[in-house]
Amino acid sequence: MDKKGVLYAIIAYLMWGLFPLYWKQLETIPALQLIGHRIGWSFILLFLIILATRQWSAFRKVAFNTKTIQIYLIAAVLISINWFTYVWAVNHGFVVETSLGYYINPLFTVLLGVIFFREKLRLIQWFPIGLAALGVLYLTVTYGSLPWIALTLAFTFGLYGLIKKMAPLSSLYGLTLETGLLFVPAVAFLLFNELTGQGAFLHSSNQANWMMVGAGLVTTVPLLFFASAAPRVPLTTIGVLQYINPTMQFLLGVLLYKEPFTHDRLIGFGLVWVGLIFFWVEGLYSRRRLSTEPIPEMGEG
């Protein structure tokens, strides 16, 4: 196994897990403005990376066609909804519920594979998906409403992953095109807020101003680390490491931000956790069994 690839993946997931600490520092600033800055500064940084590495001609050649732009426009809308929901939730005291969204996401992604790519699930693999659905149903009944933050995060990121699976560009080019497509609307929105006296940038503390600029850096750096890790690390390892992110967010929400974690929440989360553990263990066992089965000799079968 590529140790450098594992390290890159861990760094990416650790950075994503620490996101609540960053966005909490900007909780007085409207979430839509934060997303505007996140998109704007991310595009500027990615554009500069492409220029610095002399890839502009190659990027323009593969990105500037109607079909590619249509694909990445859908991806851009999905990821911007995901970013907005996440930042709004963190800054309104729902860190624990955001973690639930990223616990649900892997199972939702599996379901998308079944629906769109006709991937086959063993009968026993439907059990953990059913457990996760039961957990969401239980939380819905005890909340009195759907855990919409968790479901929005899971669905938008799952669908974003689906679009990216079918998309033709590399991670660097893809994210550059996504943020580029949203760059003009994002800047226009920020300028509108500035002209109407509602803009936060340069009207907040120096720390807040720099953190708004830094939104581009904290967005792109973990994505680039992950893009470097993905080709080097087996999916089974990625499958385990991905839970670093929601686990850290869950612990931050409960231990640092003192968000309530009631008995009812424990039951709902517990059903999702058990489903995830079961799904991972069953998949690991099946892969190991297949790898140790003897290969039939010629003429057998």
Find out whether 142 and 282 touch, Cβ atoms under 8 Å: no
Amino acid 301: pLDDT: 39
Helix H, strand E, coil C: the string for 184-244 is HHHHHHHHHHHHCCCCCCCCCCHHHHHHHHHHHHHHHHHHHHHHHHCCCCCHHHHHHHCCH
22-59 pLDDT, tens digit per residue, is 999 999 999 999 999 999 999 999 999 999 999 999 99
Percentage of the chain beyond pLDDT 90 is: 59
Amino acid 295: pLDDT: 44
pLDDT beyond 60 at 204 = yes
Higher pLDDT, 242 or 36: 36
- Lowest-pLDDT range of 7-11, 105-109, 127-131, 234-238: 234-238
- Smallest CA-to-CA distance from 36 within 202, 191, 220 is with 191
256-289 pLDDT, tens digit per residue, is 999 999 999 999 999 989 988 888 788 777 767 7
As to burial, measured by CB atoms within 10 angstroms (0-12 exposed, 13-18 middle, 19+ buried), residue 78 is buried
pTM for the predicted model, two decimal places: 0.87
pLDDT beyond 60 at 68 = yes
Find out whether 244 and 10 touch, Cβ atoms under 8 Å: yes
As to burial, measured by CB atoms within 10 angstroms (0-12 exposed, 13-18 middle, 19+ buried), residue 170 is middle
Cα atoms found within 13 Å of the Cα of residue 103, Cβ hemisphere only: 29
Amino acid 299: pLDDT: 40
Average pLDDT over residues 218-236: 80
Confidence bin at 9 (pLDDT 50/70/90): confident
pLDDT beyond 80 at 150 = yes
